[in-house]
Each structure stands twice: as C-alpha cells, then as structure tokens.
C-alpha cells in the first residue's frame, strides 16, 4: 500500500507537468497570449506605479542589480517590523519584539527562500508579522528565484542580447503564478479544515479540567504559499506535522504537489523555450531518476525500522514510526521528506532528527546536490549548470570544443560554473568544521555522538541549500548560530544566482554554431546517464567523507 500511495502521487505530478510547464512558458515568453487578457488589467496599473513603462530588456548585470536592490529594500523593511512588532496592530496575543540577531536571521532566512526558523511561529510572531513579513517574503523570494531561472533560460536559448526585464518578470510571477494558485490552494485547505482567522489564541478546558492554549490564526493562507513558493516556514513550530497545518492524508498530498509541481514543470518550460521538448524531458528525467533513488533509500530504511528496537524484540512491522504522525504513516512521511528536500522547501510532516541513520542520508544528500527539482528555479538552473559541465567534460574526452544548445562552452563559462559548484560545499563544510571546533558551536549539540555531527552538518547544509528544515535537536537560537547560518544563507542564495546569470549573459552574446554530425547530442537517453553520473560523482567526491562521519558511522554503530 505504501508503494501504491507513492506511485499515485508521482503519476498525478506527471499529469500536471505539461500543463503547468506550458502555462509558465506563456506567462514569461513576452509574446501576446491568453494570459494577457486574464491578468493585463491588474498589471498595467502596477507597471505604472513602479515606473516600468516600455519594459525594455536588461543585460545580465542590470537584471542582477535589480533583484539584489529589491531584496535589500525588502530586508530593511521587514527587519524594522520584527523589531517593532510589539507596537504594531494585529497582535492580540501581545507578543514582544524579536531579538536583534534572531531578527537578522529571520529576515535573511525568508528573503533567501530558506525559511530556516530559530523561533516558534505561534509564539514568536504577531499576526501582523506573520502576514506582512513572513507571507510577503514567501511570495517575493519565490518570485525572485523564478525570475532568475526564466532569465537564465532566455539567456541560453534565445538569439537576442538581453535576458528580459526583472520588474516585468517579478510582477508577472506574482499576478499570474503565485497569487492565483495560492488562492486556490488556500480555499482547498480551508475546505479541509485548516484554520484561517484573525482571532487570538483560544483557551479551552480539557476533560480533566485543565486549561489549554490553542494557537490559531491565518494558517491556511500561509501554508499555501509556503509550499507553492518552496518556502517551508511553518505557522506552527512543528510545521506540517501539526494537525492545524496538515490535518489529513488529502491535505498532505495537496501540500506535496504544491511544493513539487512548479519545480518539476520548469524543465518542460525550458524545453519550450529551447524549441525542443526533448531537451526539457532529458533534464526532467535526470531529476526524477535521482529523486526516485533517494526516495527508495529513505522508504526502505524507515520501513525496516530501527535496528536497536528490532534487537529488543519490539514489533517493527510498522517500520520506524518515531517522530512520525500516525495519520500519514511511513510512505507519506518518506515521500514528504524526499520532496521537501528535493524541492528545497523545508516544510516537514515528520521529525527529520528521528529518521533512521540511512534515512537521514536522503534529505542530506538531496540538499548537498542542490539540483533535484530545487526551489523556484534553483533546481533547473543547477541541473543545467551540471549539463554544461557534462558537455564540457565530454568534449574534452573526444577532442571537440564543447557546445550546448548551439553555443560554445568556453573557459569563461566554466570558471563561473566552477565558482557556483565550489561555493556550495565550501559554505557547508567550512562552518560545520568551525562549529564542531568551537565551544560556541558545540554547546548547541544535544547528542555528542555521530548524530551530533549530523545535527550540525544538517543545519549548515539546509542553510546553504536554502531549504530551512532542521534536525531540531540542535539548540540553535543563539547569536553564533543566528549570525553564522544567516551568512551561509546569503552566500548560498546570491553567489550561485549571480554566477549563473553571468553565464547566461555570456552565452546570449555568442554566435550560434550550426549543428554537425560531430555535435554532442544532449537530447537523448545517453546524455541522461552522463548527466546523472556527473552529478553523483561530483557530489560523492565532495560530501561522502562527511556523510561517513555522520549518518553512516551512526548506522554502523547501532548495528
């Protein structure tokens, strides 16, 4: 039954990929189409308000500067609100101002689409902060990532010299993608009993006469965009494991598909821009192969149960249910774990800290690879980066100048790709080593064994991959962790985005090279194997040693 449940969800996703990918293509192809009639009347006054009249295309440098300046302005605005929330409206529970380093960590976390939470949502934020800061940045950070992905696609597929207008893309990402889909998902969740209210925390009397505080609020609207935007920050501290955020199996499937569908559809959108659907299906197939392999590892490990419990003779027929909700079971918990880290969402419906050691490898590895579906556009851009690297290596082996989509891949592009590839492990492994060597880092570790290494490694991997989930056994709400993870989130988000925009800007200026009999094909099954192999080899060479010190050592120890 577990395999059947997983298969049904994957089949539903496959049915959604083509229509969603086609819709995204129509939204961003900058040609008249039906979506103009539906949303043009909303966008025209917005363009007038922000001063975007002719909507001319931008160079990659102008595009990058535009999204960085926009993000800086949003960070300053949101930081002030968190520091002053006690004096602002919609605070019926009288929640105080957020501490300075925690405010820094929170605004960086949400503007970078990471949504790492060192606070508990229902007790750390007012309703005003939840809506104006958290939900607003869930929309804007997702829109920024999607815009950069679309600009990158234009750069490597078009014959022009510009990659689009950031402000036009930014508005359209909101009005034509995230707002309408989030509204539909919100209404579905409300219909399935997810709360949506501005009433204060409810006080109720239990069966034994004791009083209990029940946190409520505008939950459904936040849950919808946290998944659609691959944000992940929960209204409640325990995220989508809470019955108010995720009441039943149907809401669980809706949330899985919400965080998965846009990232999975973007390769098809890329194929339409490239005028070759095969190119898109090659990227999608590579992503899905990696996804299924890691899903199988997690599901098998959790289904086999904890070896320690098995030796004690405890019934393991249900698998390892520690940290999991009974209403979801092993299958839906494993699928959620794999999707949320493959799509860099960070939402959780079970406690990752209680996964079996081999089961922990799946979320860690997916975030380390940072390219399996990914956040809004991150997965596609990273997979295309690896595709160019694979073409370059194949070209070297056969003695040809490598070409990708009719353009030559030369040293400038490879240097930029190398920066994007090398920065990711550097900002994971470097801070992990510092945390394990210093008392400021070690004091937060609640498990001094191999699992303690995994806790620290997971925190920085999640930050660098802009995921935001965590091994919650780590006591991370301290100045050291707030500042260090904040810096890692910044570097993990912006260095790779700027580097890949520079690659797009470099390629868009190059002359097209006609395809010949000697051109290396990138639209067939052979290239799928080469691409997957390239990802796994680079990932293994970079991260396997630290995985051996963490989850693999823990697995060998408890056996």
Q: Is the pLDDT of residue 122 over 80?
A: no
How much is the pLDDT for 111? 92
Residue 212's beta-bridge partner residues? 204
Give the chain's length: 559
Q: Tell me: the pLDDT tens digits for 201-218?
A: 888 888 888 888 888 888
How much is the pLDDT for 127? 87
- Helix, strand, or coil (residue 211): strand
Domain boundaries, the chain: 16-272
- Name the helix (H) or strand (E) containing 451: helix 450-464
Q: How far apart are the first and last CA of the chain?
A: 28
Phi-psi region of 442 (alpha: psi -120 to 50; beta: other; left: phi over 0): alpha
CB–CB of 278/284 below 8 Å? no
- Helix, strand, or coil (residue 297): helix
Q: Is the pLDDT of residue 455 over 70?
A: yes
Q: What is the mean pLDDT of the chain?
A: 90
* Angle, helices 249-273/219-228, rounded to nearest 10 degrees: 40
Sign of CA dihedral 91, 94, 100, 102: negative
In this prediction the pTM is 0.92
* Angle, helices 357-369/329-342, rounded to nearest 10 degrees: 30
Interatomic CA distance for residues 442 and 161, integer angstroms: 51
How much is the pLDDT for 504? 92
pLDDT level of residue 371 (50, 70, 90 thresholds): low
CB–CB of 512/159 below 8 Å? yes
Q: Is the pLDDT of residue 184 over 90?
A: yes
Q: Is the pLDDT of residue 472 over 80?
A: no
- Helix, strand, or coil (residue 214): strand
How much is the pLDDT for 251? 96
Q: Tell me: the pLDDT tens digits for 209-266?
A: 888 888 888 899 999 999 999 988 888 888 999 999 999 999 999 999 999 999 999 9
How much is the pLDDT for 379? 85
pLDDT level of residue 317 (50, 70, 90 thresholds): low
pLDDT level of residue 316 (50, 70, 90 thresholds): low
Interatomic CA distance for residues 367 and 432, integer angstroms: 15
For residue 531, how far is the Cα from the chain centroid?
A: 21
Which alpha helices (DSSP H) does 158-245 contain, by range?
166-172, 179-191, 219-228
How much is the pLDDT for 453? 94
Question: Lowest mean pLDDT: which of 109-123, 290-304, 380-394?
Answer: 109-123
Of the candidates 420, 449, 422, 457, the one whose C-alpha atom is nearest the C-alpha of residue 556 is 449
How much is the pLDDT for 398? 74
The two tokens of residue 104 are 């820094």
**What percentage of the chain exceeds 70 in pLDDT?**
99
Interatomic CA distance for residues 146 and 378, integer angstroms: 8
Of the candidates 374, 390, 393, the one whose C-alpha atom is nearest the C-alpha of residue 382 is 374
Half-sphere exposure at residue 133, Cβ-oriented, CA atoms within 13 angstroms:
32
Interatomic CA distance for residues 547 and 365, integer angstroms: 9
Burial class (CB in 10 A: 0-12, 13-18, 19+), 306: buried
Of the ranges 122-136, 394-408, 494-508, 514-528, which is most confident?
A: 494-508
pLDDT level of residue 495 (50, 70, 90 thresholds): very high
Q: Is the pLDDT of residue 338 over 90?
A: yes
Question: Lowest mean pLDDT: which of 92-96, 118-122, 234-238, 321-325?
Answer: 118-122
- Name the helix (H) or strand (E) containing 82: helix 60-84
How much is the pLDDT for 476? 83
Which alpha helices (DSSP H) does 85-178 contain, by range?
100-111, 121-124, 127-129, 136-157, 166-172
Q: Is the pLDDT of residue 516 over 80?
A: no
The two tokens of residue 441 are 């880092």
How much is the pLDDT for 120? 75
């Amino acid at each position: 039954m577990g395999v059947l449940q997983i298969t049904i969800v994957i089949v539903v996703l496959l049915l959604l990929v083509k229509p969603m990918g086609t819709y995204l293509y129509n939204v961003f192809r900058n040609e008249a189409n039906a979506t103009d009639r539906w949303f043009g009347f909303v966008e025209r006054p917005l363009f007038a308000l922000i001063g975007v009249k002719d909507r001319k295309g931008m160079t990659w440098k102008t595009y990058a500067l535009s999204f960085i300046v926009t993000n800086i302005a949003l960070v300053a605005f949101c930081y002030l609100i968190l520091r002053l929330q006690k004096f602002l409206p919609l605070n019926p529970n009288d929640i105080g101002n957020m501490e300075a380093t925690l405010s820094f960590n929170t605004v960086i976390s949400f503007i970078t689409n990471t949504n790492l939470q060192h606070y508990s949502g229902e007790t750390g934020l007012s309703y005003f902060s939840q809506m104006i800061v958290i939900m607003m940045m869930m929309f804007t950070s997702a829109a920024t990532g999607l815009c950069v992905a679309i600009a990158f696609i234009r750069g490597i597929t078009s014959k022009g010299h510009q990659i689009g207008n950031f402000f036009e893309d930014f508005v359209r990402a909101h009005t034509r993608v995230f707002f309408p889909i989030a509204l539909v998902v919100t209404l579905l969740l409300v219909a399935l009993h997810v709360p949506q209210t501005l009433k204060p925390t409810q006080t109720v009397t239990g069966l034994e006469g004791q009083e209990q505080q029940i946190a409520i609020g505008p939950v459904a609207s936040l849950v919808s965009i946290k998944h659609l935007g691959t944000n992940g920050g929960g209204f409640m501290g325990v995220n989508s494991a809470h019955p108010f955020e995720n009441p039943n199996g149907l809401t669980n499937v809706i949330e899985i598909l919400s965080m998965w569908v846009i990232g999975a559809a973007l390769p098809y959108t890329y194929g339409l821009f490239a005028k070759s659907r095969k190119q898109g299906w090659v990227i999608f197939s590579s992503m899905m192969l990696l996804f299924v392999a890691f899903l199988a590892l997690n599901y098998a490990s959790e289904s086999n149960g904890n070896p320690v419990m098995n030796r004690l003779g405890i019934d393991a027929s249900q698998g390892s249910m520690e940290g999991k909700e009974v209403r979801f079971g092993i299958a839906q918990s494993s699928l959620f774990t794999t999707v949320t880290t493959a799509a860099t969402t960070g939402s959780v419906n079970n406690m990752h800290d209680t996964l079996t050691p081999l089961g922990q490898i799946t979320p860690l590895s997916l975030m380390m690879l940072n390219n399996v579906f990914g956040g809004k556009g991150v997965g596609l851009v990273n997979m295309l980066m690896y595709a160019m690297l694979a073409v370059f290596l194949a070209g070297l082996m056969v003695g040809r100048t490598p070409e990708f989509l009719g353009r030559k891949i030369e040293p400038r592009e490879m240097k930029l790709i190398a920066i994007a590839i090398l920065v990711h492990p550097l900002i994971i492994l470097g801070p992990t080593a510092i945390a394990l060597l210093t008392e400021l880092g070690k004091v937060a570790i609640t498990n001094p064994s191999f699992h303690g290494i995994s806790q620290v490694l997971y925190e920085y991997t999640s930050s660098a991959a802009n995921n935001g989930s965590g091994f919650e056994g780590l006591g991370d709400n301290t100045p050291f962790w707030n500042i260090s993870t904040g810096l890692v989130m910044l570097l993990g988000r912006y260095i790779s985005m700027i580097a890949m925009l520079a690659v797009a800007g470099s390629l868009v200026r190059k002359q097209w090279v006609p395809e010949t009999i000697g051109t290396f094909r990138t639209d067939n099954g052979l290239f799928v194997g080469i691409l997957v192999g390239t990802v796994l080899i680079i990932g293994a060479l970079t991260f396997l040693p630290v995985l051996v010190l963490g989850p693999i050592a823990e697995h060998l120890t408890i056996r």
